[in-house]
Homo-oligomer: A and B are copies of this chain.
Amino acid sequence: MIKKIGVGLLGLGTVGEEVFKLIKGNHLFSNEKLEIEFEIYAIYVKDINKKRNVDVSGIHITSNYEEVVNNPDIHVCIECMGGAGADKTVEIIDAAIRKGKHIIMSSKKCLAYNMNHIIDMANYYNVQLRFEATVGGAIPICRTLMSMSSENKINRMYGVINATTNYVLSLMEKYNIDFDEALNIAKEKGITENDSSEDIDGWDAAYKMKILAGIGMKADINLDEISPVSVSSLVNLKNDNIRIKQIFYVEKSSDNKIMFYVGPAELEKNNVMYNVRENYNIVFVDSSYSGIRAYYGKGAGGKETASAMYEDLLDIYKQCYWFELTDVTTCEKIDINEISNRFEDGE
């Protein structure tokens, strides 16, 4: 017996179109209990007249999101609203959750600013929530954290988590030039957007750190306290033994105190992170039972992100998962001059 699962897409940009193609091409899914057929019934877009690169004939396209979230045949909404702004996105997610739709997210800024609220809503309205695509694309890091037993306590997480900035820093090292010159080259190549300030100033990494700390440490970090350090105007060290990376670092002590850092750090050539270059990301997880482990992959890309969202979709129908956040007692920033001491050689 095939059970039909109606899907609503929220957004049809680069990522949305890749998700659309994946679901269209792979709509049948079987597991132990069910055979499932996924079908996209409706798509919310900002501009219904914009030309799309996928064939949406037969599917209801609308710029009124209520026509998606109120549709009783839609079970799960997939949010790909990257450019829409956090407020508009959370308004729509909120409405979808109230209508009992499961939610798959990709907009990290929206999730970071509203994580507590979205988790509370999902738990209250008894819907499943997934957001692998908000952090490190297809690694998959969120699912790994979700699969850890509660006894396996995470003490620290750190790594390189913004592809744009890492790409520019790699150009800086490769050509032995300063950051601003490398940024110009990247812009000319069309690899970075004209306004990459959220990437370069560390906000993108801060959002992702908050999301990871929320899953892995159940910690509700206040974004206003993070104050990331920008990498703009960094001067090239002209030293082959050291590379500068934009890193995030978050540590939780047994009494629920959080220490964190987002910004540049010097990494020695024996450090695994030294060789994480271009648009690759890496997340290290240090936990009580498993010691230090790391997860590496491309941090961005339409196909990679869509693949993560598609696996989120399958995961919702494989097992339920409930998130929770607890308050942190204190939240303290680590000094830039001290951060490099936190990484041992070879980690």
Q: Would you give the shortest CB distance from A125 to chain B, in whole angstroms?
A: 15
The CA-CA distance from A322 to B26 in the complex, in Å, is: 19
Q: Given A291-B298, A292-B298, A296-B296, A280–B139 Cβ distance below 8 Å?
A: no
Number of interface residues of A (CB under 8 A): 53
Please tell me which one of the listed residues B22, B137, B293 contacts residue A295 in the complex, with CB atoms under 8 A apart. Answer: B293
**B138 near A280 (CB under 8 angstroms)?**
no
Among listed A44-52, A147-155, A248-256, A327-335, interface-contacting one: A147-155
* Chain A, 294-331, CB within 8 A of any chain B CB: 294-298, 301, 303-304, 306-308, 310-311, 314-315, 318-320, 322
**A138 near B291 (CB under 8 angstroms)?**
yes
Chain B residues with Cβ below 8 Å from A148 are: 311
Chain B residues with Cβ below 8 Å from A138 are: 289-291, 293
Q: Which of A144, A289, A307, A318 has the most CB of B within 10 A?
A: A289
The CA-CA distance from A301 to B287 in the complex, in Å, is: 14
The CA-CA distance from A306 to B33 in the complex, in Å, is: 29
Q: Would you give the shortest CB distance from A81 to chain B, in whole angstroms?
A: 22
Q: Would you give the shortest CB distance from A323 to chain B, in whole angstroms?
A: 13
Chain B residues with Cβ below 8 Å from A301 are: 291
**A294 near B296 (CB under 8 angstroms)?**
yes
**B293 near A149 (CB under 8 angstroms)?**
no
The CA-CA distance from A326 to B149 in the complex, in Å, is: 33
Q: Would you give the shortest CB distance from A94 to chain B, in whole angstroms?
A: 23
**A151 near B32 (CB under 8 angstroms)?**
no
Q: Which of A269, A293, A304, A320 has the most CB of B within 10 A?
A: A293
Q: Which of A139, A272, A320, A346 has the most CB of B within 10 A?
A: A272
**A151 near B25 (CB under 8 angstroms)?**
yes
Q: Given A274-B275, A275-B274, A311-B149, A139–B319 Cβ distance below 8 Å?
A: no
**B149 near A26 (CB under 8 angstroms)?**
yes
Interface membership of A6, Cβ < 8 A: no
Q: Given A144-B144, A289-B138, A275–B270 Cβ distance below 8 Å?
A: yes
The CA-CA distance from A297 to B289 in the complex, in Å, is: 12
Q: Given A149-B26, A280-B346, A290–B275 Cβ distance below 8 Å?
A: no
Chain B residues with Cβ below 8 Å from A144 are: 140, 144
**A346 near B272 (CB under 8 angstroms)?**
no
**A147 near B289 (CB under 8 angstroms)?**
no
Please list the residues of chain A having a beta carbon within 8 angstroms of any beta carbon in chain B. Answer: 22, 25-26, 31-33, 137-140, 143-144, 147-152, 269-272, 274-278, 280, 289-298, 301, 303-304, 306-308, 310-311, 314-315, 318-320, 322, 346
Q: List the 6 closest A-B pairs by CB distance, nearest first.
A: A293-B297, A32-B320, A289-B307, A138-B290, A294-B296, A272-B275
